[in-house]
């Protein structure tokens, strides 16, 4: 009886190729996404968005819409006086009051019997606008006399009539500023034998989750709110939703159906979510809203455009002496997590390589463009693109091999950077060496340069880039921990209640694997429950590549307590010390002889059904030993750091500007490989995402309007374009990591664009500082039809 007898296993699961636990459901079409969930009595919602990019709302007439048969509610801001603004800076009303700042802006919403009726009702809503001048870029937003996007205090009036300024007026369209400095910049400039300076331009992309955004909200008869939500941070959102809609957070339950992709886009709350809740409250019915694909392009977050001025210097011997950074982030109309990506960029600027002197200033600026969210890498793709271009530029300036130059400045384990990051494990140099070797970097790099003047229009190039990213969580919130509850049934089936969410990254599988490893059980013996805030213990959410590390340590903690209990029972039963016993292959075994003493399920039943009558139920909370950074951004923000190097090989058709990515050879310091299949998937998926960022993806925004909100005009990388990948894992066995592992979720996407940029230069001798490397952009750059990116005089 029990899975144990039927599915034995031999030896350790660590490093093995374990299929994802949710793969059969997803591959067979059985998985039930929010799209597939329909509740009895459910209504369908649609949102009316602004007809103007920037305007005052003069009046809204919903009477005709309300009169339509099948319509249950039509709401505007006036109907939800209790609504509070959302987002990082609380500058954003879910339903706009009198000012719209982008075409996505939500003016009214309808709940009706069908989507079709709701759509029909939207057309009956009459809105009178007074158009305002449009601010189309950060640069324009900063010009004197530019229209102010948030020129007035955002004032909230409570139910008691008390008013509160939740977002103060921005007098110059600045949304957020971050400044950081280390060392002595003057000294750094003085010591430099070579100095390079460029302005880099990064473009708009968006997440393109295969599962579009959607939510179902329902109040029960006791006014408890149930949300079916794709959020990545359910526990934080309980509190945030509570504030936005004015309810007790204890009364909110969030269930996460399988999520059709997240990549950071589901880290924040967007207006459609409170709007659906308002409709559910108004109608006392479950209300569902699922975006169309076009709506997903228009109203889900973006990775925002950044202008980045970078100046770097080094000595003749290759020692970096300084780095100076200034950025302008186009924040879009409202502030979401995108505005805080400079926090991560700063780490790459200060700590990817040893650089004693550093100055960093960044501003996020309001415009009428789409607003910027969190996106896998969280600013690091942008920062790495610029920093790694300069690593090549400096190496060339001093005539040093780029690999040698990087090795010269690379960190070792045990170092603490001026910003305070302590690298307890660090495989940077191994990554550099391995990726270079697997990509045949040095030989090709040298040879390709020799062919710059060849007559062939087809050029080849190799480029290298490295990355640093948090790999042991990031202590942003007061806690970066994760709770686990574990129970075993009479058949030794383990239920793991983890705070960690599965958003497709494979956390469910790796957590089960870590538990199986402790308990000597096969993968089928663990059921992971990870999608219901009423049931699972707290976790800060899926971000910062933290789940394997944090939730993994938490799961191990709970499993070890279970193991102790099982071994104690076996010890009592067999009259031998517990420390002579081990769990393996579903059995308690004698460590010395390897002899199987009893099946675990039998032992558990005997524990349960004896006079002692015990069940195996344990819990564990893991909080990493990381620290909040201080007000100068100094501190060891993560419990571990991930490293990686990627070598891209490209073919550039100089007659068409077409860049083909032929190969990525990469080496990633992942601490330790837990699930080889899973980590390969993460790395390969990340590389393809980085490839899209580098070569094909481009959200075209003109005068605040997205011009390509569909998959015909927004070019995702497709299967034929995917390069050969040669992936090496550097296993540095991090002392704090679960079984030695570090986080790797974001890492593989980070340096593709940087490596490709360096490869294009290696192929053509032309340094292109503006992304994306679309044929048109590359052609123009190669044929001098494009202007270099310039820093605006402001």
Note the residues at the interface with its own copies (CB under 8 A).
Answer: 1-3, 6, 21, 24-25, 27-28, 30, 32, 36, 40, 220-222, 235, 238-239, 242, 248-251, 253, 478-479, 481, 483, 485, 487, 489-493, 495, 497, 524-525, 527, 529, 533-535, 537-538, 608-609, 613-615, 617-619, 621, 623
Q: Is the dihedral of CA 673, 676, 678, 684 positive or negative?
A: positive
Is 558 or 768 the residue whose CB approaches its own copies more closely?
Answer: 558
CA angle, residues 101, 102, 106, in degrees to nearest 5: 90
Is 527 or 571 the residue whose CB approaches its own copies more closely?
Answer: 527
What's the min distance (Å) between Cβ of 25 and its own copies? 5
Task: With residue 366 as reference, give the H or E element that holds it.
Answer: strand 357-366
What's the min distance (Å) between Cβ of 219 and its own copies? 9
Is 210 or 615 the residue whose CB approaches its own copies more closely?
Answer: 615
Between CA 465 and CA 393 the distance in angstroms is 12
What's the min distance (Å) between Cβ of 627 and its own copies? 10
State how beta strands 99-100 and 55-61 pair.
Answer: antiparallel
Is 613 or 719 the residue whose CB approaches its own copies more closely?
Answer: 613
φ/ψ (deg, to 5) at 125: -85, 125
Is 137 or 536 the residue whose CB approaches its own copies more closely?
Answer: 536
Is 79 or 490 the residue whose CB approaches its own copies more closely?
Answer: 490
Let me know: does 771 contact 778? Beta carbons within 8 Å. no
What's the min distance (Å) between Cβ of 529 and its own copies? 6
Is 608 or 715 the residue whose CB approaches its own copies more closely?
Answer: 608
Q: How many CA atoms does the CB half-sphere of 405 hold within 13 Å?
A: 27
SS3 at position 584: strand
What's the min distance (Å) between Cβ of 273 and its own copies? 20
What's the min distance (Å) between Cβ of 229 and its own copies? 17
What's the min distance (Å) between Cβ of 20 and its own copies? 11
Between CA 217 and CA 228 the distance in angstroms is 7
CA angle, residues 54, 55, 61, in degrees to nearest 5: 130
- Quote the distance between the C-alpha of residue 301 and its chain's center: 12
Between CA 296 and CA 708 the distance in angstroms is 12
SS3 at position 579: helix
What's the min distance (Å) between Cβ of 677 and its own copies? 16
Task: With residue 111 as reference, give the H or E element that holds it.
Answer: strand 106-112
Partner residues linked to 706 by β-bridges: 701
DSSP 8-state class, residue 532: B
First to last CA, the chain: 75
Between CA 654 and CA 658 the distance in angstroms is 7
What's the min distance (Å) between Cβ of 637 and its own copies? 16
Task: Cite the DSSP H helix spans in 192-341.
Answer: 234-245, 272-283, 293-299
What's the min distance (Å) between Cβ of 258 and its own copies? 12
Is 489 or 684 the residue whose CB approaches its own copies more closely?
Answer: 489
What's the min distance (Å) between Cβ of 333 and its own copies? 30
Let me know: does 521 contact 494? Beta carbons within 8 Å. yes
Is 677 or 716 the residue whose CB approaches its own copies more closely?
Answer: 677
Between CA 680 and CA 670 the distance in angstroms is 11
Let me know: does 742 contact 734? Beta carbons within 8 Å. yes
CA dihedral 600→606→609→612, nearest 10 degrees, is -110
Is 412 or 534 the residue whose CB approaches its own copies more closely?
Answer: 534
Is 304 or 493 the residue whose CB approaches its own copies more closely?
Answer: 493
């Amino acid at each position: 009886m029990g899975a144990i007898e039927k599915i034995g296993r031999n030896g350790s699961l660590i490093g093995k190729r374990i299929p994802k636990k949710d793969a059969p459901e997803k591959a067979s079409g059985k998985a039930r996404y929010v799209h597939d969930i329909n509740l009895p009595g459910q209504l369908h919602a649609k949102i009316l968005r602004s007809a103007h990019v920037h305007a005052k709302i003069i009046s809204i007439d919903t009477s005709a819409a309300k009169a339509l048969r099948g319509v249950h509610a039509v709401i505007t801001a006036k109907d939800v006086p209790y609504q509070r603004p959302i987002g990082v800076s609380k500058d954003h009303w879910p339903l706009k009051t009198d000012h719209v700042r982008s075409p996505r802006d939500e003016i009214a919403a309808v709940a009706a019997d069908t989507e079709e009726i709701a759509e029909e009702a939207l057309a009956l809503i009459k809105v009178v606008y007074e158009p305002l001048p449009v601010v189309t870029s950060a640069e324009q937003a900063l010009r004197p006399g530019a229209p102010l996007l948030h020129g007035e205090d955002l004032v909230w009036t409570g139910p008691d009539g008390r008013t509160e300024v939740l977002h103060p007026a921005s007098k110059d369209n600045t949304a957020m500023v971050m400044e950081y400095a280390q060392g002595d910049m003057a000294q750094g400039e003085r010591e430099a034998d070579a100095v390079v300076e460029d302005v880099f331009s990064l473009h708009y992309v968006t997440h393109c989750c295969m599962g579009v955004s959607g939510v179902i909200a329902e109040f029960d008869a006791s006014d408890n709110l149930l949300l079916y939500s794709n959020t990545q941070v359910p526990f934080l959102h309980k509190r945030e939703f509570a504030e936005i809609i004015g309810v007790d957070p204890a009364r909110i339950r969030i269930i996460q159906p399988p999520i059709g992709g997240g990549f950071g886009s589901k880290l924040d709350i967007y207006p459609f979510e409170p709007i659906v809740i308002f409709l559910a409250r108004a109608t006392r019915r479950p209300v569902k809203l699922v975006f169309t694909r076009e709506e997903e392009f228009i109203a889900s977050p973006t990775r925002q455009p950044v202008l980045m001025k970078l100046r770097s210097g080094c000595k003749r011997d290759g020692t970096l002496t300084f780095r100076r950074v200034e950025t302008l982030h186009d924040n879009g109309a409202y502030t979401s997590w995108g505005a805080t990506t400079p926090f991560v960029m700063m780490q790459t600027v200060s700590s990817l390589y040893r650089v004693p002197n550093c100055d960093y200033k960044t501003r996020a600026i309001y415009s009428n463009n789409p607003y910027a969210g969190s996106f896998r890498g969280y600013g690091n793709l942008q920062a790495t693109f610029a920093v790694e271009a300069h690593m090549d530029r400096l190496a060339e300036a001093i005539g040093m091999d780029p690999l040698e130059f990087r090795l010269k400045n690379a960190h070792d384990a045990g170092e603490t950077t001026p910003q305070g990051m302590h690298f307890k494990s660090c495989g940077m140099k191994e990554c550099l060496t391995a990726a270079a070797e697997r990509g045949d970097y040095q030989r090709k790099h040298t040879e390709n340069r020799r062919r710059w003047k060849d007559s062939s229009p087809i050029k080849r190039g190799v480029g290298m880039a490295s990355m640093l990213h948090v790999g042991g969580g990031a202590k942003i919130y007061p806690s970066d921990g994760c709770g686990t509850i574990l129970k075993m049934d009479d058949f030794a089936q383990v239920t793991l209640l983890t705070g960690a969410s599965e958003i497709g990254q494979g956390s469910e599988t790796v957590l089960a694997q870590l538990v199986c490893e402790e308990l000597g059980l096969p993968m089928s013996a663990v059921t992971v429950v990870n999608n219901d805030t009423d049931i699972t213990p707290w976790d800060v959410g899926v971000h910062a590549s933290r789940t394997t590390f944090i939730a993994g340590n938490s799961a191990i903690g709970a499993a070890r307590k279970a193991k102790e209990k099982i071994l104690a029972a076996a010890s009592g039963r067999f009259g031998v010390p517990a420390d002579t016993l081990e769990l393996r292959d579903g059995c308690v075994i004698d460590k010395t002889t390897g002899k199987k003493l009893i099946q675990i399920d039998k032992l558990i039943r005997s524990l349960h059904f004896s006079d002692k009558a015990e069940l195996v139920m344990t819990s564990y909370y893991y909080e990493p030993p990381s620290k909040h950074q201080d007000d100068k951004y100094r501190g060891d923000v993560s419990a571990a750091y991930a490293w990686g190097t990627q070598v891209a090989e490209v073919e550039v058709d100089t007659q068409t500007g077409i860049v083909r990515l032929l190969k990525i050879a990469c080496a990633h310091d992942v601490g330790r490989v837990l699930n080889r299949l899973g980590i390969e998937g993460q790395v390969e998926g990340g590389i393809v995402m980085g490839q899209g960022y580098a070569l094909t993806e481009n959200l075209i925004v003109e005068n605040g309007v997205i011009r390509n909100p569909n998959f015909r005009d927004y070019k995702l990388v497709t299967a034929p374009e995917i390069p050969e990948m040669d992936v090496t894992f550097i296993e540095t066995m991090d002392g704090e990591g679960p079984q030695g592992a570090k986080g790797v979720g974001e890492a593989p996407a980070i340096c593709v664009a940087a490596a490709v940029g360096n490869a294009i230069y290696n192929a053509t001798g032309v340094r292109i500082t503006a992304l994306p490397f679309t044929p048109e952009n590359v052609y123009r750059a190669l044929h001098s039809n494009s202007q270099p990116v310039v820093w605006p005089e402001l």
